[in-house]
Structure 1
Amino acid sequence: MFGLEALDLARMQFAFTVSFHIIFPAITIGLASYLAVLEGLWLKTRQEVYRDLYHFWSKIFAVNFGMGVVSGLVMAYQFGTNWSAFSDFAGAVTGPLLTYEVLTAFFLEAGFLGVMLFGWNRVGPGLHFFSTVMVAIGTIISTFWILASNSWMQTPQGHEIIDGRVVPVDWLAVIFNPSFPYRLLHMATAAFLATAFFVGASAAWHLLRGRDNPAIRKMLSMAMWMALIVAPVQAFIGDLHGLNTLKHQPVKIAAMEGHWDNSDGEPTPLILFGWPDMEREETRFKVEIPFLGSIILTHSLDKQVPALKEFPKEDRPNATVVFWSFRIMVALGLLMILVGVWSLWLRWRGGLFRSRPFLYLCLWMGPSGLIAILAGWFTTEMGRQPWVVYGLMRTADAVSNHSVTQMSLTLVAFVVVYFLLFGTGIGYMMRLVRKGPVTHEGKEQGIGGPGQHRTPARPISASQEGMDDDDNAATEARN
């Protein structure tokens, strides 16, 4: 297939499926915590706006959660089907870690998810809030175990290799490997930011269409507070993560910076833009700032950043991809900080909900968090190459013995099925977003809180009925 080998197709298949999958857990993590905050604020203040937003976003959470579970199952199967040599080599570590994720996080989420989604009018307010909090905690625990497994593949420790297989000898060292704390914080914070900009874009869309009510304003306000506070924190975490990567995976840093040579003995410049050429071993058309690379990455004016030519060619990642994926992530992060600062200025001037240029920027920034997460994962995973377990097992040695024809057919099948299945799910989720929160439930329908009657007990069904009503009203207006 297009001159590609089975290994290339296996990597493409895994990259495709993980890219689809990761957007759903990211939104699930953020929305679960957002729902817990909304219900907590409603219980404390009894302001209807928080309950209205809870009902609205719980519908979207339900759809997103379902797609995340389905896409996640495929990821687990691929370890056995396409990467059986890796499973045989490292399964004693990765298998238990993924099992812990199921036994703790997934069971916790599954146990309380039904109460959270369908128990609003069937259980008391305390139990319902507790269920929402447990689901939110479950998403964080799930992130913990998944990142522990992936981080061990980046910076493995706490093991021995016996008879060609990894054998764990210190589970605390395996779990809390050198890169794990930084990657856990970085991913969790990225999920919160991605959700914040998703929520903010939804609010901006409604405001631009003239739908201005307390619920929409509260959505935008809360999202912008998150951007203002968390985006700079994420930049700080990213700096710490970069220092850790420099220590344990220096060739990845060299690829991220497109830095080839230290022969001049000068501090490393920061290359803003350019095109790392793997064949010519240079970054072409580069625009650089002297000394800044050393300042950012070593926090000094005289130390140098490792160069790609210091490592054998067979140990270098694809610098072209890693260089640009890293810059996409950083650029979007800087834009998030800009949006947060601009929102503060508009809030002070009283124009947060009226500035159309700002609202359009928020709308276009809606997918920015998810794109940044994907760019970050490409940087992390492509930068680890050619290793599947860094320094221990090469990717070429981890793949199953499949033919090019087999891998081509399954890749095409995945692309078709994923776009049909998840395209439909994402389209339905966007339809829910376009509908917006219903803000008249409490006053016109007498809806109370948990444990009281006339509260929608089926989030997705209720949303469908509401959309049908909107469609009927639109038809009548046209007639």
Structure 2
Amino acid sequence: MDVEILARIQFAFTIAFHYIYPPLSIGLGLVMVIMEGMFLKTGNKLYEKMTKFFVRIFALIFGIGVATGIVMEFEFGTNWAVYSRYVGDVFGSALAAEGIFAFALESGFLGILLFGWNRVRPSVHFFATVMVTLGSMFSAVWIVVANSWQQTPTGYHIVGTGLHARAEITDFWAMVFNPSMVSRISHVWLGSFLSGAFLVLSISAYYLRKKRYLEFSKSAFKIGLVVATLSALAQLFVGHKSADVVAEYQPAKLAALEGHYDGSKPGDMYLMGYVDQKKQETHGLYIPGGLSFLTKGDFKAPVTGLNDFKKEDRPSAVNFVFQTYHLMVAIGMFMIALTLYSCYLWWRKSLFNKHWLMVIFSFSVLLPQVANQVGWYSAEVGRQPWVVYGLLRTSKALSQAVTAGHIVFSLILFTWVYLVLFVLFIYLLNKKIKRGPFDEENLDHSPRHIEMADSLA
């Protein structure tokens, strides 16, 4: 493999692994705010126990997330020196704002969130929980600002030429509110809410299957279900808005998402299928003219196709972009169906009578995680061959001194380190879940004590 492919693989691996944790932190933070807010409103100790339990899980996720995110900063300098110089003014502003206004807020109140129980007033602790959650959401804002600017760059001018060219900010707020920023951060936030909500649903369903902490689990499940249902439905509309932005500003990516080649014809919307890149044909189950209707309101309107672009200016891995995008959509629709059906059973007062449904929810934590990952793949690979859309090609953004051997060595090293961290994360998470929401020093796991815990109010 050449240096470009290896560098892309290494960065994709490290950021994909890191991206497991921030969405969980953001989503779980929102759920904790709801739980603690209900405790303050009702005085029901059960909601306090819920918050304390999920705070312990939040702390684990936060710690691993911070550790796995550090590597990417060094990769910019080692593997992508030209890119770092080119976007340094833009990224420097966004990432500095992330550190000052977001991470400082999140980490500043984290100590109160973790250790402030019985040391500060309940209202003060609730305020800390809100601040930590807002900090994590603001952190996502500035990261998405930087990434969205790469997709739809605005508010800049180019200084210098060749390897010394760089984008310099001329309008900070135009850079921040670039055309894709609002739809993308909304998409990221909702995906994060789904990650946190389905983690709560998964843990609660596990306890319900094991007939442990029944009252606790039923209450936590209902909170998670409300958050998941509203987020899944909202994601449907936000996703459509994101597609409209892609259609306007990145038509080559849109064509790749749906495997659309002939720009003189209407665009079909595929439900499933595959792209034969050699023959430039897409096969599968589709709605005729569906893409044309969604983007232009007319089933017969032509949509810009891949053949309208030079071969070197369009994504090379069209089938990969097509498959990852449609997998994301399929998972999103399944989450909508699953949550709406569960709400119907809740209304019928039979939600917790379906053992098979609890089995599905026990593993449902994987759904938003997979959707977040493949959605990121389709967005980033679909942007190729540009690292900054229309301005800087990926092949021109590499460090000039780095070799394939250097990248292979560091990739192997990162793989082992991340594997150890992931095994440690799963081990500690499993240990916390099996320990349960009540302190082991006060309660054992005998049926009598479980019954006492479930009746706690």
TM-score (norm 2): 0.93
Question: Which residue is equivalent to 2:229?
Answer: 228
User: What amino acid maps onto 1:162 in structure 2?
Assistant: V
Q: Are 1:270 and 2:263 matched, yes or no?
A: no
Question: Which residue is equivalent to 1:260?
Answer: 261
User: What amino acid maps onto 2:247 in structure 1?
Assistant: L
* Residue 361 (structure 1) shift: 2.0
Listed one character per residue, the Cα deviations across residues 303-325 of structure 1 (whole Å, up to 9, x for unaligned) are 22221111111111121111011
5+ unaligned residues in a row in structure 2: which ranges?
Answer: 449-457
* Residue 436 (structure 1) shift: 2.7
Question: Which residue is equivalent to 1:168?
Answer: 169
User: What amino acid maps onto 1:114 in structure 2?
Assistant: G
Distance 2:179 2:221 in 1: 37
Distance 2:168 2:182 in 1: 22
Q: Contact 2:86/2:166 (CA < 8 Å) preserved in 1?
A: yes
* Residue 246 (structure 1) shift: 0.3
The one of the two structures with greater contact order (alpha-carbon pairs below 8 A, sep at least 6) is 1
Question: Which residue is equivalent to 2:429?
Answer: 429
SS in 1 for 2:118: coil
Question: Which residue is equivalent to 2:455?
Answer: none
Listed one character per residue, the Cα deviations across residues 146-205 of structure 1 (whole Å, up to 9, x for unaligned) are 111110011001000011211110001000000000001000011001111111111111
Q: Are 1:52 and 2:53 matched, yes or no?
A: no
Percent identity (aligned): 39
Question: Which residue is equivalent to 2:452?
Answer: none
Distance 1:410 1:322 in 2: 27
Q: Are 1:309 and 2:298 matched, yes or no?
A: no
Q: Contact 1:32/1:136 (CA < 8 Å) preserved in 2?
A: yes
* Residue 104 (structure 1) shift: 1.0
Question: Counterparts of 1:189-228 in structure 2 under 5 Å?
Answer: 189-228=190-229
Distance 1:348 1:40 in 2: 24
Listed one character per residue, the Cα deviations across residues 420-439 of structure 1 (whole Å, up to 9, x for unaligned) are 1232123211321233322x
Q: Are 1:292 and 2:290 matched, yes or no?
A: yes
Q: CA RMSD in A?
A: 1.8
TM-score (norm 1): 0.89
Runs (4+) of structure 1 moved beyond 4 Å? none
* Residue 212 (structure 1) shift: 4.9
Question: Counterparts of 1:358-369 in structure 2 under 5 Å?
Answer: 358-369=357-368
Question: Which residue is equivalent to 1:417?
Answer: 417
Question: Which residue is equivalent to 1:374?
Answer: 373
User: What amino acid maps onto 2:312 in structure 1?
Assistant: E
SS in 2 for 1:271: strand
* Residue 44 (structure 1) shift: 1.2
Distance 2:434 2:369 in 1: 19
Distance 2:358 2:57 in 1: 22
Listed one character per residue, the Cα deviations across residues 53-84 of structure 1 (whole Å, up to 9, x for unaligned) are 01110000000000111111112221111111
Distance 2:373 2:202 in 1: 19
Distance 2:121 2:332 in 1: 41
Q: Are 1:8 and 2:9 matched, yes or no?
A: no
Listed one character per residue, the Cα deviations across residues 382-424 of structure 1 (whole Å, up to 9, x for unaligned) are 1111111101101111111311111111111111110012321
Listed one character per residue, the Cα deviations across residues 242-267 of structure 1 (whole Å, up to 9, x for unaligned) are 0011000001110000111134x4x3
5+ unaligned residues in a row in structure 1: which ranges?
Answer: 439-461, 474-479
Q: Residue 212 and residue 60 in structure 1: after superposition, are their counterparts in 2 closer, same or farther (change >3 A)?
A: closer
Q: 1:144 aligns with which of 123, 141, 157?
A: 141
Distance 2:102 2:389 in 1: 27
Question: Which residue is equivalent to 2:403?
Answer: 403
Question: Which residue is equivalent to 2:451?
Answer: none
SS in 2 for 1:353: helix
Listed one character per residue, the Cα deviations across residues 105-141 of structure 1 (whole Å, up to 9, x for unaligned) are 1111111101110111211222211111111110111
